[in-house]
Amino acid sequence: MTKLIASSFVTAVLAFLVLPVIFIVWVAFFDSSFLTFPPPGYTFHWFAEAARNPVFLNGFVTSLIVVAIASTISVFSGAMAAIVLVRYQFPGREALNGLLLSPLIIPNIVLGIALYIFFIAIADTLSIDLIASNVGLIIAHTMLVLPWAVRLIGANLIGMDRSIEEAACNLGAKSGTVFFRVTLPLMRGGIVAAALFSFIVSFENLELSLLIVSPGHTTLPIAQMQYLEFNMDPTIAAVSTVQILVIAALLLITDRFVKLSRIV
């Protein structure tokens, strides 16, 4: 009896969590240009409509470009930093670690505002407008996802058995060979997790990017947000459904490499 109550409570809470996602996917197939229950019929029409919408299409492309570049930079620089932070003892190590993780503590909206006034200051003094291109967004998102890369790759390094590297050394391998043939392959799990997690965190971020976007350089969540402030219809539901599918695919890939419950 208690078991039944317990499992129905858990089911109810989890249903509450997925409810909005289920509804947005359902609405995307409604054969009606506005929101109406029950739907008069079902159609794939809104996906084609969404793909033709230049704002959403550009948003999707901008998001992909920004996310791909920012994730790559952050995984490389995060991996290097994680190796040093995990394997070397030096004064100020804790402080440096805290500094690299600080984007997680400061409100994203504050980070976005600080970057916005910084980019404007750069535009005023150096006449380089970082907001009118994707560069500003890439800088912002690299900073945003760097702590995840440091944390995930670092956690992987802490759990690594160093005796394999020592064995390779004892057998005469040079330090470079040890790194590329032993350490790097062992780091794979952490690197994959860092890359995919950076991708997801950056892809869905809104607050940080709000001020540093410009026409033609707007990310998908911001395009969705601006649309939603005036309309709620099957077109935006279709756009959201595509985004949900992308995230779901990435989630399944990530889960094959690392236990998701360990990293969130």
Partner 1 sequence: MTASMMMIPATGIILLALVIPALILLRYSFNAYDPTQLMVEAFTLDNYTRFFHEPYFQQVMITTLTVSLECTLASLLLGYPVAYFLATTRSRFKSLLIILTIFPLLVGNVVRAAGWMTLFGTKGFINVVLMYLDIIDSPIKMMYTTFSVFVGMLCVILPFMILTLQGVLESIDFSLTEAAENLGASPFTAFRRVILPLSLPGIATGSILVFILCMNAYSTPVLLGGPSFSMMAPALYDQIASASNWPFGAALAFILTLATILATLISSLYFRRKLKAMAA
* CB proximity list for 65: less than 8 A, separation 6 or greater: 134
Which of 104, 102, 134 lies closest to 119, judged by CA?
134
The answer to whether 9 contacts partner 1 (rule: CB under 8 A) is yes
The answer to whether 84 contacts partner 1 (rule: CB under 8 A) is yes
Helix or strand (DSSP H, E) at 217: none
Applying CB under 8 A, the span of 52-60, 107-115, 164-172, 181-189 interacting with partner 1 comes to 107-115
* CB proximity list for 156: less than 8 A, separation 6 or greater: 187, 189, 190, 191, 193
Which of 16, 55, 46, 26 lies closest to 244, judged by CA?
26
The answer to whether 171 contacts partner 1 (rule: CB under 8 A) is no
The answer to whether 177 contacts partner 1 (rule: CB under 8 A) is no
The answer to whether 230 contacts partner 1 (rule: CB under 8 A) is no
Q: How far is the CB of 163 from partner 1 (least distance, A)?
A: 22
The answer to whether 202 contacts partner 1 (rule: CB under 8 A) is no
Residues 18-77 binding partner 1 (CB under 8 A) are 18-24, 27, 35-38, 73-74, 76-77
Q: How far is the CB of 225 from partner 1 (least distance, A)?
A: 5
The answer to whether 257 contacts partner 1 (rule: CB under 8 A) is no
The answer to whether 224 contacts partner 1 (rule: CB under 8 A) is yes
Q: From CA 191, how far away is CA 146, in angstroms rounded? A: 12
